[in-house]
Amino acid sequence: MSHGLFITFEGIDGAGKTTHLATLAERLRHQGREVTVTREPGGTPLAETLRECLLHTPMDTLTEALLMFAARRDHLRLVIEPALAAGQVVLCDRFTDATFAYQGHGRGFDLGVLQTLEGWVQTMDGGLRQPDLTLWFDVPPDIAASRLSRARAPDKFESESCAFFERVAAGYAQRAAQAPERFVRIDAHVPRDQVWHQVEAACRQRGWLS
């Protein structure tokens, strides 16, 4: 394959996307692809500093949205775009769909403003950068919450109510409905190996995994 691939992993906290991201990276590398594994907010020194603030410091939603997009801009310029230009596969744990789902639907922030910021931040030389594929790990919020409560101390987002995560989940559903060619819904409410089979099938169907 001569050009890069940009694959994002999305879902509410506790959906279990991160282990599958690592497995996909391993499988792609095994097939000889160069893979960059990264995350948002984060992925560069500046964006990781912003992540610390975003996950632990209370702030108003406009500030939160602006910092998410500031981190994203740095991440795109320094990591994602160069990796794609070098023909690599970029696997990113969350991207802009998370901003629409969490800040937009979860916190009720203006979706039109987010769309404007998306256009500013993701416009690169070749046009508007969007993922080639978004794997959306869909799981009922109460199941995700019970998975999280068994894990480490919650951050600012993980401490939100079940009602918040219901809205976030609805936000992901809306984004998926708006871009059906980009999104694949993964039923994440089944045993882990069955979740992986869905991820594998989505990549095989596109000829990215043998």
The residue ranges that bind ligand TYD (CB under 6 A) are: 13, 18, 40-41, 68, 93-94, 98-99, 102-103, 157-158
Q: Residue 35 and residue 24: Cα distance in Å, rounded?
A: 10
Q: CB of 104: closest distance to ligand TYD in angstroms?
A: 9
At 79, list the tokens. Answer: 């990591």
What angle is formed at CA 126 by the lines to CA 125 and CA 130, rounded to 5 degrees?
A: 110
Compute the least distance from the CB of residue 181 to ligand TYD, in Å.
22
Judged by beta carbon, residue 46 or residue 209, the one nearer ligand TYD is 46
Shortest Cβ 167–ligand TYD spacing (Å): 12
> Closest separation between CB of residue 102 and ligand TYD, Å?
3
Q: Which is nearer to ligand TYD, 79 or 98 (CB)?
A: 98
The residue behind tokens 């594994």 is 37
Our CB check for ligand TYD shows the closer of 40 and 81 to be 40
Closest CA to 134 of 76, 189, 175, 163: 175
* Residue whose C-alpha is closest to residue 42's, from 82, 14, 66, 70: 70
Q: Report the residue number, 64 or 81, with the smaller CB distance to ligand TYD.
A: 64
Instruction: Assess contact for 36 and 89: CB atoms under 8 A.
Output: yes
CA–CA distance, 118 with 168 (Å, rounded to integer):
18
CB-nearer residue toward ligand TYD: 36 or 210: 36
Minimum CB distance to ligand TYD, residue 40 (Å): 4
Considering the complex, what minimum distance in angstroms separates the CB of residue 85 from ligand TYD? 23
Dihedral sign of CA atoms 3, 28, 197, 166 in order: negative
Instruction: Return all residues near 103 (Cβ < 8 A) that are at least 6 apart.
Output: 61, 64, 65, 68, 109, 114
Nearer CB in complex with ligand TYD: 4/106: 106
